Amino acid sequence: MPPPDQRTDRFRYVGSAVDPDRGEVRCTYATGEHTFTETFTFGPGRRWDDPAVEAAVRLLFLVTGVSYYKTTAAPVIDLGETATTADERTFLHDFYVHGLGEFAYRNGIDLRDLRIEGPDASPGPPAPYDPAAGRPLIPFGGGIDSIVTVDALREPPHQATLCIVHPPGDSFAAIEDAAAVTGLPIVRVARQLSPLVRRSAELGFLNGHVPVTAIISAAALVAAVLGGHDAVVLSNEWSASAPTLVHDGVPINHQWSKGASFEQRFSQVVHGALGPRVDVFSYLRPRSELWVAEQFARLPAFHGVFRSCNRAFHQDPAQRLDHWCGVCDKCCFIDLILAPFMSAAALNAVFGGAEPLKDPALEDRFATLLDLGAGDKPFECVGDTGECRAAVILAAERADRAGTALLDKLRSAVVAADATSSAPRHLLDPMGSHSIPDRYVPADLLVRAR
């Protein structure tokens, strides 16, 4: 358990404010003796007095507090003067408990008894919002998932726009390079964290993973309403809902805010606040990472510019890499999931001549992805065991992979561990349910539904 002096009694929502001249939203919170303000800059010249914009800003305020709550992990969240409905408080409780599941696990904290207090708001009519259909706003991160979503929605009748959230005065080349290839217009949101969080060690704060995808989704919602878009289209696939591990019977998911549960619950509060004319959903929800990789392999224009390695997104620009590191869990997973569909030569070029699957020293990293007894699944945005094992089997069938020692060794281990791994192609079919509205449902899912 963390030392008692690291946990305060109460985390407080202080308030949010809009500066129309600067196009800024400022969200302020407090815990103990510290006050935090996070700023989102959407740009001036917008309809900030529109009730729909105000409703979206309120949801952003509710979600953003998670980054500062974690500093002391108080047992009570005090919403201050912010009135919420019972459904919104239920959403917030689940969001904090499950979205911070990895944080709580690593810090030895049980958040299940978390209390959320504040004035009650009776459910009322949503704010009026009536956008034109077919104008999706797509949060874009430059990885294979968002690229596949963009490719599917970039042509008429859709009028797609990218949404990029970035630090003020800074940008990530790994996102910008891929965004430029799309040729689509871009809405930018500058997100400025409170400087106090950079002083966590000095100030004695607790630290750990937060569900940042939720914050990006909420910021994109504000941008969508400001711009008259009818949907925030996420790029989170089927296996994002799978837990990273189960601890004392409790599933812990590094990707919880990318999973179906968050998507469904956030969508409900969005509809409660803004009505049914705007949707927040994942276009890839019924797809496996294997399917996404197959689609991405057919988009060669992006093969030389995409990067998913976390070293490309370091907060300190001086420590960012302009290439794949080639040794982390994310690099290993991306190489593995693409290996059935892209040539060995093409993937070697992606990794600058140092493809992970050709490095025997990375055997243990691949073994954890494949659940071959080398340790727990990494706390990282990677596919589940079945997808990874299927990728090994399919990659090993390629003629240009013959004689790849590490791949051959991994394939033998997978077959020994799971005899069903010899027939993995069902993972390329649609999987599970989804919340894609009819106007955006792809043709193959419509055929399947009939």
Same domain, 275 and 304: no
Positive or negative torsion for Cα 357, 362, 366, 371: positive
Residues 321 and 263: their CA atoms lie apart, in Å, by 31
Reply yes or no on whether the pLDDT at 162 is more than 50.
yes
Q: Which two tokens stand for residue 362?
A: 């990375």
> What pLDDT is recorded for position 5?
56
Same domain, 266 and 213: yes
Q: What is the mean pLDDT of residues 398-418?
A: 92
Same domain, 303 and 264: no
Last residue of some domain: 252, 282, 312? 282
Q: Is 442 a member of any domain? A: no
pLDDT (tens digit per residue) in 120-143: 998 889 999 999 999 999 999 999
Q: Which two tokens stand for residue 444?
A: 């193959």
Same domain, 301 and 250: no
> What pLDDT is recorded for position 210?
96
Element (H, E) at 366: helix 363-369
Residues 391 and 289: their CA atoms lie apart, in Å, by 10
- Beta strand pairing status for 245-247 and 250-252? antiparallel
Q: Is 13 a member of any domain? A: yes
Q: What is the mean pLDDT of residues 158-169?
A: 95
Same domain, 217 and 360: no
Q: Which domain holds residue 27?
A: 4-123+132-282
> What pLDDT is recorded for position 351?
95
Look at the block and give the residue holding tokens 């490309």: 312
User: 99 with 65: CB under 8 angstroms?
Assistant: no
Residues 6+ away with beta carbon under 8 Å from 55? 126, 127, 129, 225, 273, 274
Last residue of some domain: 249, 282, 315? 282
Reply yes or no on whether the pLDDT at 71 is more than 50.
yes
Count of structural domains within the chain: 2
| Mean pLDDT computed over every residue of the chain | 92
Q: Is 436 a member of any domain? A: no
Cα separations (Å) of 241 from 37, 332, 380?
Answer: 31, 20, 13
Q: Is 223 a member of any domain? A: yes
Last residue of some domain: 282, 306, 330? 282
- Helix (H) and strand (E) counts in the chain: 16, 12
Reply yes or no on whether the pLDDT at 4 is more than 50.
no
> What pLDDT is recorded for position 450?
40
pLDDT (tens digit per residue) in 338-347: 999 999 999 9
CATH of the domain at 94: 3.40.50
Same domain, 112 and 186: yes
> What pLDDT is recorded for position 448?
55
Q: Is 192 a member of any domain? A: yes
- Beta strand pairing status for 186-192 and 161-166? parallel
Reply yes or no on whether the pLDDT at 144 is more than 80.
yes
Same domain, 244 and 308: no
Look at the block and give the residue holding tokens 């449902």: 441
pLDDT (tens digit per residue) in 422-437: 557 788 888 888 999 9
Reply yes or no on whether the pLDDT at 178 is more than 60.
yes
Same domain, 230 and 260: yes
pLDDT (tens digit per residue) in 207-256: 999 999 999 999 999 999 999 999 999 999 999 999 998 988 889 999 99
> What pLDDT is recorded for position 172?
87
Same domain, 101 and 182: yes
User: 272 with 85: CB under 8 angstroms?
Assistant: yes
Same domain, 253 and 342: no
Q: Is 109 a member of any domain? A: yes
Confidence of residue 12 (pLDDT cuts 50, 70, 90): very high
Same domain, 275 and 372: no
Q: Is 448 a member of any domain? A: no
Residues 24 and 308: their CA atoms lie apart, in Å, by 29
Is the whole model's pTM more than 0.75, yes or no?
yes
User: 223 with 273: CB under 8 angstroms?
Assistant: no
Q: Which of 108-112, 320-324, 339-343, 404-408 has the lowest mean pLDDT?
A: 320-324
Q: Which two tokens stand for residue 368?
A: 């954890």
Q: Is 292 a member of any domain? A: no
**Partners of residue 17 on adjacent β-strands:** 26
Same domain, 241 and 339: no
**Partners of residue 15 on adjacent β-strands:** 28
Residues 392 and 407: their CA atoms lie apart, in Å, by 7
